[in-house]
Homo-oligomer: A and B are copies of this chain.
C-alpha cells in the first residue's frame, strides 16, 4: 500500500521529524508485520533516522555536512547555485526502510525518522510504501 504526504521546510538547511506521517500511513495500511519504505522524491532532499530529542544533534549533523561539502565551489553552482544540496542528498540518500511489528515502527529508543531539506524553504513530497 502506498501513500503520499507533503512536508514544508522553513530554512535552507533543516531536519523535519516525520514520525507522525509514517505512523499515519502505517495505521491506514493496517500492516502488522513487514517493512515501511519512506522516500523523498527530490534531488536536494534526503531521509535520515537519528536522535532529535536533543535538537542540537540536528544542527551538528547539518554543520558536519556543510563542513565536508562546502557551498559555492562546484560546477553546477553556475547553473543553479545548489550543487552542495545535490551532493549531500546523493550521499545521504532519498529513502530509509524501517521494520514493522505488531503494527508499530520498530525504531530504536533514540531513533526518529527525519526529512533533510538541503535547499529549502520548500514543499517536499514523501512517498510511503508498506509491504508485508
Contact = CB atoms under 8 A, between A and B. Distances in A.
A49 interface: yes
Interface residues of A, number: 56
Contacts of A33: 1-2
A24 interface: no
B87 A42 contact: no
Contacts of A75: 56-57, 59-60
Q: How many copies does the complex hold?
A: 3
Given A93-B49, A96-B93, A111-B42, A106 B127 contact: yes
A88 to B, nearest CB: 9
Interface string A18-31: 00000000000000
Contacts of A2: 33, 99, 101, 106
A95 B94 CA distance: 11
Given A43-B111, A57-B83, A108-B41, A93 B48 contact: yes
Given A1-B33, A60-B75, 18 more contacts: A2-B106, A35-B37, A35-B131, A40-B108, A43-B49, A43-B108, A43-B110, A43-B111, A54-B76, A54-B79, A56-B83, A57-B75, A64-B68, A64-B87, A90-B92, A97-B97, A106-B127, A108-B125
